[in-house]
Amino acid sequence: MTYLENHQVLSSRDLNETRALLADLNSIDSLDLIERPAFFDVVVRGTTLGDLQVLHSSFGDCRIQLRTPESDNDALFLIIPTEGRGNVKHQGQDYTISTRRGMIRDMRMPLFADEDRFACFGVLLPNDILAKHCRMLLGNDSTTMDPDFEISLDLDSAPGRHVCNTLNYIAQALEGPLHNLDNAIVLNGLQDLLLTNILMMLPNSCSELLHGLPKSNAVPHYVKRAREYIHAHAHTPITLETLVEHSGCGYRTLQTAFNAAYGMSPMAYLKSARLNHAHKDLLDNEVGPNVAEIALKWGFSHAGRFSQSYAKQFGVLPSETLRKRQ
């Protein structure tokens, strides 16, 4: 099935051309074919929907590997596969994506994917737009509402199917009766429909509030304060005592809440953030520091353990990342 046929952004069978275009379009900094020869035929179609971007991408009858770096783009990216499957490493965890399972990636964090005969819908969701819509649904004027989504999405569940059907409906409307329609009222209405479905149907920290249930899973403010401190000061010495002081809560409370929110302790989260910074330095490195110097810069004094941790999070050794840039 063809999606958004009249909204073509890119069509190419040239790998180098595709790499350059996708680097600008979706922050993809490396793209490689596996199992050559392969039928590489990338087609990207997309359009704007109010403040959102809706894309459909397909890569042909081939298997590819791609990486995206850490970025300053404060947005989420909803991935709904329409063909094939893939294995994804994101935020230190492994995920499978297919027509039965999608994901929501954090654009600020690196991602590695191995995809086979893959095609998907993608929706770029700025966090400020999500938070604003969430406040509107809740009738809450607080500026601190910040929904955190589960990364892996069950598309076989009733809520998952509902989001897929909504996205298909919007794509068909933009392709058919709404093609070339320059009507902000209609387009903003479709944006509201999609945002409402995403917030109401996909598991997130505001789900219970949105469904009128007692609040229990929202990420506490003290966890957010500790998380923000980590991202702002990852280049400086940070101890658990430092995080407790800046979060404004006790050690056991912070430890328990971090595990509930992110599946890891505050110090493990700090380690992951520093690995992301090291990864970016290695990607940006031309003739600069070597692996050991970059590891030390981000607080990893033991080169071997740094390499093991790096490989676990990104799927490659730091030396491999560095060689690709030189």
Q: How far is CA 15 from the centre of its chain?
A: 24
Q: What share of the chain is helix, strand, coil (3-state, %, to 5)?
A: 45, 30, 30
Mean pLDDT within 86-91: 93
Instruction: Report the distance separating Cα 177 and Cα 183, nearest Å.
Output: 12
Q: Do residues 6 and 175 make contact, with C-beta atoms less than 8 angstroms apart?
A: yes
Q: How many residues does the chain have?
A: 326
pLDDT band at 141 (very low <50, low <70, confident <90, very high): very low
Vertex 36: Cα angle to 31 and 40 (nearest 5): 55
| pLDDT in the model for residue 179 | 67
Query: Is the pLDDT at 144 greater than 50, yes or no?
Result: no
Is residue 120 packed enough to be buried (19+ CB in 10 Å), middle (13-18) or exposed (0-12)? buried
Pick the CATH number of 221-325 from 1.50.40.10, 1.10.600.10, 1.10.10.60, 1.10.645.10: 1.10.10.60
- Comparison of pLDDT for 139 and 198, the residue scoring more: 198
pLDDT band at 38 (very low <50, low <70, confident <90, very high): low
Convert the pLDDT of each residue in 274-293 to its tens digit.
998 888 888 776 656 788 88
Q: Where are the domains of the chain?
A: 8-208, 221-325
Mean pLDDT within 161-173: 92
> Which stretch of DSSP H or E encloses residue 79?
strand 75-90
| pLDDT in the model for residue 143 | 42
CATH number of 8-208: 2.60.120.10
Mean pLDDT within 118-132: 93
Query: Is the pLDDT at 124 greater than 90, yes or no?
Result: yes
pLDDT band at 142 (very low <50, low <70, confident <90, very high): very low
Of 21-30, 104-113, 124-133, 286-295, least confident by mean pLDDT is 21-30
Whole-model pTM over 0.75:
no
> Do strands 52-68 and 30-49 pair parallel, antiparallel, or not at all (unpaired)?
antiparallel
Instruction: Report the distance separating Cα 18 and Cα 68, nearest Å.
Output: 14
Query: Is the pLDDT at 103 greater than 90, yes or no?
Result: yes
Of 95-109, 126-140, 214-228, least confident by mean pLDDT is 214-228
Instruction: Report the distance separating Cα 55 and Cα 7, nearest Å.
Output: 9
